[in-house]
Amino acid sequence: MADLRTEEMELNMGPQHPSTHGVLRIVLKLDGEIVLDAEPHIGYLHRCFEKHAENLTYPEIIPFTDRLDYIAAMNNNLGFCVTVEKLMQLEIPERAEYLRVLVAELNRIASHLLAFGTYGMDMGAFTPFLYAFREREHILDFFEAICGARLTYNYVRIGGVARDVTDESLKLVEKFLEDFEPHVHEYNDLLSYNRIFLKRTVGVGILSPEAAISYGVTGPNLRASGVHWDLRKDEPYSVYDRFEFDVPKANTEIGEIGDCWNRYMIRMYEMIESVRILRQVLNQIPDGPTMAKMRAAIRPPKGEVYMRTETPRGELGFYILSDGKNKPVRVKGRSPCFTAMSAFREISRGLMIADITAVIGSLDIVLGEIDR
Amino acid sequence: MELLSSLIFMLVIAAALLGFVMLLALILVLAERKVSAYMQDRVGPRRVGPFGSLQTIADAIKLLLKEDIISLQADRKLFILAPYLVFVSSFAVFAAIPFGRNLIASDINIGILYIMAISSVVVLGIIMAGWASNSKWALLGAMRSAAQMVSYEIPLALSILSVIMLVGSLRMQDIVGAQSGGLFSAQNRWILLDNPFTFLAFFIYFISALSEVNRTPFDLPEAESELVAGFHTEYSGMRFALFFLAEYANMFAVSAIAVTLFLGGWSGILPGYTFLNGVPGFVIKVSVLVFVIMWLRWTLPRLRVDQLMSVCWKYLIPIAFFNLIGVGVWILIFD
Amino acid sequence: MTVTAAMFYLFAVLTVGSAVLVVTTRNVVYAAFSLMLTLCSVACLYVMLHADFLAATQVIIYVGGILVLVLFGVMMTSGKLDMKLRMERGRLIPGSLVGLILLALLIRIIYQSPWQVQDTNMLESTTKSTTQSIGESILGQYLLPFEIVSVILLVALIGAVLISRKEVKEIEES
Amino acid sequence: MIGLQHYLVVGAILFVLGMFAVLTRRNAIAMLMGIELILNACNLNFVAFSRYVTANVEGQMIAIFVIVLAAAEAAVALAIILAIYQELRSISPDETNTLKG
């Protein structure tokens, strides 16, 4: 009796829509308010990153990685540099490694704060957004102090970091960490355990662990589905193996494994873990140079390399094919948001329109990285 | 001659009310921006005029000067008519709100019923706007809005009914008169405190009223993160300003009605403090309620449409029904 | 002309004019919104007849309830394309003929019947408001009809839910 | 002076218009609107009689019952119309003849 259905309505969500987190277009097939199918159309932010990279020297590519995931540019810098260093088998000075972890974890917090704030906004709560920005501001102040930029840093370089930090700027971090932890509890009181918020997110948009793995979903989204996998623990790069921290996993206390609430909450837990790492970094940070000794022109040996790092959004991988010249032959980025987005269609079937924004927000996508 | 004079009289009253509503909306918009700013750790508007007090006037001028866009596919006649319908019906509510002993435009003997009747016309204006825009977002918003407002009118009416049962009159001034004793007196105290059931009725009224005026957590018709802007997606400039004006007028109206029904209206708060009698006391009480509405808006997330409906039909309506019976039993036993 | 007369003519013209629009417009949505105008002006006529409670009821139930239902029906059963109403020419002429004859007949009857018009101030002079009188008659003289009507409402409610429910069930099965 | 007859004439015009709609419209919802017009016409008459002839609220009582029944009727009618629409993709009463023997 399929012809008895009411008419399906096709609804164009985006590219200009308040809650698609960038320029994403989703074609919804609706039966009333129920979503029968949601087909994402991407590519509005395509900037030919991979093709550009073929015509640039290695250090010149780093600013382009800033613009992939512009919310967590430090992590992108780090991912690319670590890949080139792996190809060159370069030894990095201790202090530089610690600084890299410092900025990466701070940027992780900044990125998760943004995810938290915009998610509140997707749910109709406007205020948490500005609270999140208040804290993010401190982190950006620190970044400004160390590299002069607030969004696209170009701070992590091949062989180390661009500049050393002063003790005063490290004080900024210390002060921020002291302020920040109580604020996370404030956020939890304000939004995370709000009855209406729970109603909107618990049990909505469930991504099963099997589906998550088969779609290649990584990062917080994967851990929210109950899979214990964090590259910082399981495939440590930089000096992550020296720090003590837990990898938060989805809990069934309130939500179901893999629902929007867990995807949201995992980020709140991760911020606390990042604070733990940052405290250890500040305690252990050694003195020394911040740049490895190497030749000015970077020419990695012939060969290919694939290296993946854990960004706030998941597994960011770079594949580089080098022919020994100062420009790569081929660069390929593996974007965590892209795989998260590919799972979106399956998650969203049978939900309501309002849940679509809940799912997109909980996946925490950045279109700059999906489209590259 | 008689015709002319009464016509002029009516026009003067209407103009005075209109001016009042305009002024009110300007103040309320500014208040909302300031309240939200302080809640969000910012300072809000402060450039135009002292402490940004002229900001909304600047905004209003901006809205009036904007290009009046009517999309080609829209149904022109209804598109133009809809904002006026919404505004007029929310404006007409003010005719029966008692601001003071003699400050009521028309103290008709079915006052509260009139208010309910007039405010139900707003739904039609919203459907009209949504349909005439010929945009799917607007239509979805309008459908949601209609379903929401029609549903929440039931608990709203039931909670009002318990007040009417207690007072025995639909006239607004009679309702105020029944609570002239103030907050704590043994006789004629606020209906809110008259008995436990009316206490509950106030909250039922308040929740339903929030929904009727589309405020968070029930602001689904214009949920900006889902439906762009709901039924007024396609509106801009002047016409959008009318919707905006109507929203704030409505917010004040439901608070004023709540004050009149449950919190003693313009009659004093405490006996002895005569300066709180009349308009000042009324304004204070209404401001408190308006502040609570703003407070909720900047704190709470938004419900989903099916949850909104289940809140109404599964919880509010049954509770309101039993509450009404409770009020009746209370009157039978104690009065 | 007195105020009352002026207002009567205003609302009478509004009522009739919008009703004409209801039956002649080719757009269902226009018809529905004209119906709103008709209903509201009829409510105003009620007010002029000292039936204030009834006027409020008319607006609450007709405009706030029935008309919203009708509009939902219109929007669900017609896409933007077939919003146009067809009027069969074959029926137009007999229809208007019958209407005109009936109208002439009715008006003739209205003006020729010897109506027993009472002292018009009787209602106004009573102390009771109409609301009170209506309340008393509902729970007194008209108690039985009142109860029957409430049962009918319940039946209609269940019936309407049942009819529209059927379709939902079949979707679930398919 | 406005009297009973004025209201009766308005009622008569409303009634005829409603009947005209029911006779000529080929859309079930438009016909429903015609029926609403007819109901309003007789309500107007009832109220006018209650004001000028009986001078009590009996006419208004009848009008209230009519309004309530109109609400019930509209609910059921629209449910039926929607069901028919889903079945036949049309709400013209002429095409709804599957029950014909």
Residue-wise pLDDT tens digits, D49-74: 888 877 777 888 888 888 888 888 88
The band of A4, judged by pLDDT with boundaries at 50, 70 and 90, is very low
Please state the ipTM of this predicted complex: 0.78
User: Taking CA atoms, what residue in D is nearest to C120?
Assistant: D52
**pLDDT surpassing 60 at residue A169:** yes
A44 and A367 in contact (C-beta within 8 Å)? yes
Q: Do B123 and C68 touch (CB under 8 A)?
A: yes
Share of chain B above pLDDT 70, in %: 93
Question: Which among A108, A47, A70 is positioned nearest to A372, based on CA atoms?
Answer: A47
Does C35 lie at the interface with D, CB-CB under 8 angstroms? Answer: yes
pLDDT of residue A225: 84
Query: Which band of pLDDT confidence, cut at 50, 70 and 90, is reported for residue A10?
Result: confident
- pLDDT value at position C126? 56
Residues in C closer than 8 angstroms to A7, CB to CB, are 79
Whether the Cβ atoms of residue B220 and residue B212 lie closer than 8 Å to each other: no
Q: How many CB atoms lie within 10 A of CB B248?
A: 22
C-alpha closest to that of C51 among C134, C126, C141: C134
pLDDT at B212: 83
Q: Look up residue B189 and give its two tokens.
A: 């105290």
Contact between B154 and C63 under an 8 Å Cβ cutoff? The reply is no
pLDDT tens column, C130-166: 777 888 888 888 889 888 988 988 998 888 888 776 5
At B143 the pLDDT is: 80
What residues contact A68, with CB distance under 8 A and at least 6 apart? A49, A76, A333, A335, A368, A369, A372
Chains contacting A (3 or more CB pairs within 8 Å): B, C, D
* Residue among A346, A307, A309 at smallest CA distance from A218: A309
Chain A closest CA to C79's CA: distance in Å? 9
d(Cα B203, Cα B217) in Å, to the nearest integer?
15
Predicted pLDDT of residue C127: 56
pLDDT above 50 (res B8): yes
Interface of D with C in 8-27 (CB under 8 A): 8-10, 12-21, 23-27
Q: Write out chain A residues lying below 8 Å of D87, CB-based.
A: 4
What digits encode the pLDDT tens for the residues B102-155? 777 777 778 888 888 888 888 888 888 888 887 777 877 888 888 888 888 889
Nearest CA among B147, B262, B291 for reference residue B203: B262
Does C105 map to a domain?
yes
Residue A208: CB atoms within 10 A of its CB come to 15
- Kindly report the three-state secondary structure assignment for every residue of B12-40: HHHHHHHHHHHHHHHHHHHHHHHHHHHHC
Query: What pLDDT does residue C166 have?
Result: 54
What's the Rg (C-alpha) of chain B?
20
Q: Tell me whether D98 touches chain A (CB under 8 Å).
A: no
Cite the beta strand spans of C29-167 per DSSP E.
none
Q: How many CB atoms lie within 10 A of CB B119?
A: 26
Beta bridge partners of residue A315, listed in sequence order = A310
Of the partner residues C76, C79, C174, the one whose CB lies closest to the CB of residue A1: C174
Q: Which of residues 122-141 of C touch B (CB under 8 A)?
A: 129, 131
Q: Please tell me which chains touch B, using 3 or more CB pairs under 8 Å as the contact test.
A: A, C
User: Does C73 reach chain B within 8 Å, measured CB to CB?
Assistant: no
- Chains D and B contact (Cβ–Cβ under 8 Å for 3 or more pairs): no
pLDDT at C165: 66
CATH (domain of C9): 1.20.120.1200
Confidence of residue A156 (pLDDT cuts 50, 70, 90): confident
Query: What pLDDT, on a 0 to 100 scale, did the predictor assign at position A3?
Result: 38
Q: What is the mean pLDDT of residues A301-319?
A: 86
- Which chain D residues are within 8 Å of C98, Cβ to Cβ? 19, 23
Q: pTM of this prediction?
A: 0.83
Q: What is the mean pLDDT of residues A333-343?
A: 85
Sole residue written with tokens 């209906």: B191
DSSP assignment string, B203-264: HHHHHHHHHHTT-TTS-GGG-HHHHTTGGGTT--HHHHHHHHHHHHHHHHHHHHHHHHHHS-
CA distance B23 to B25: 5
Q: Is the pLDDT of residue A5 over 50?
A: no
Task: Report the length, in residues, of chain A.
Answer: 372
pLDDT at B319 over 80: yes
D47 touches chain C (CB under 8 A): yes
Residue bearing the bigger pLDDT, D88 or D40: D40
Residue C96, SS3 per DSSP: helix
Distance CA B48, CA B57 (A): 9
Q: Is the pLDDT of residue C80 over 60?
A: no
Inside any domain, residue C66: yes
User: How far B2 CA lies from chain C's nearest CA (Å)?
Assistant: 7
Residue whose C-alpha is closest to residue A103's, from A61, A132, A146: A146
* Domain covering D27-95, topology: Helix Hairpins (1.10.287)
pLDDT in tens, A231-264: 888 888 888 888 888 888 777 777 777 788 888 8
For a pLDDT cut of 70, what percent of chain A falls above it? Answer: 97
Residue C174 has a pLDDT of 41
Is residue D1's pLDDT more than 60? yes
Using DSSP, state whether A330 is helix, strand or coil.
Answer: strand
Range of the domain at C82: 3-126
Q: Cβ(B220)–Cβ(B301) under 8 Å?
A: no
State the Cα–Cα distance between residues D57 and C57, nearest whole angstrom: 14
Cβ contacts of residue C135 below 8 Å, gap of 6+? Answer: none
Residue C59 in contact with partner chain B when CB distance is under 8 A: yes
C-alpha B184/C-alpha B269 separation (Å) is 9
User: Is residue C169 classed exposed, middle or buried when 0-12, 13-18 and 19+ CB atoms within 10 A define those classes?
Assistant: exposed
Residues with Cβ within 8 Å of residue A39, at least 6 apart in sequence: A26, A27, A29, A345
CB A108 within 8 A of CB A310: no
Is the separation of the CB atoms in D20 and C99 below 8 Å? yes
Per cent of chain C over pLDDT 90 is 1
Whole-number average pLDDT of chain A: 82
Please state whether at least 3 CB pairs lie below 8 Å between chains C and D.
yes
> Which alpha helices (H) appear in C49-88, and where do they start and end?
52-57, 67-77
Whole-angstrom CA distances from A34 to A29, A300, A348, B220, C48 are: 8, 53, 10, 16, 48
Q: What is the mean pLDDT of chain C?
A: 78
Mean pLDDT (chain B, rounded): 82
Over residues A196-222, the pLDDT tens digits come to 888 888 878 888 888 888 888 888 888
Question: Is D95 near chain C, with CB under 8 Å?
Answer: no
pLDDT at position A347, please? 84
Residues in chain C: 174
Determine how β-strand A34-41 pairs with β-strand A25-31: antiparallel
Query: SS3 for A148?
Result: coil
Q: Kindly report, residue by residue over A75-112, the tens digit of the pLDDT.
A: 888 888 888 888 888 888 888 888 888 888 888 888 88
What residues of B are in contact with residue A196 (Cβ under 8 Å)? 217, 300-303
Give the end-to-end CA distance of chain B in Å, rounded to a whole number. 51
Split into its structural domains, chain C has a count of 1
Cα B150 → chain centroid: 15
Phi, psi of A27 (to 5 degrees): -95, 115
pLDDT score of A2: 36
For chain B, the domains span 1-65, 70-334
Q: CA quadruple B146, B152, B154, B160: dihedral positive or negative?
A: negative
Phi, psi of A15 (to 5 degrees): -65, -20
Q: Residue B155, preceding bond cis, omega within 30 degrees? A: no
What's the pLDDT band for A366 if we cut at 50, 70, 90?
Answer: confident
The CATH code for residues A55-370 is 1.10.645.10
Query: Is C5 in CB contact (< 8 Å) with chain D?
Result: yes
pLDDT tens, position by position, B153-203: 889 988 988 888 888 888 888 888 877 777 777 777 777 777 888 888 888
Tens-place pLDDT, residues C87-118:
556 677 888 888 888 888 888 888 888 877 76
Position A1 scores a pLDDT of 29
Q: Which residues contact A83 (CB under 8 A, 6 or more apart)?
A: A305, A306, A307, A318, A320
Kindly give the interhelix angle for B196-212 and B136-167, rounded to the nearest 10 degrees: 160
Share of chain B above pLDDT 90, in %: 0
8 Å CB contact between A169 and A179: no
Structure-model confidence comparison of residues B105 and C81, the more confident one: B105
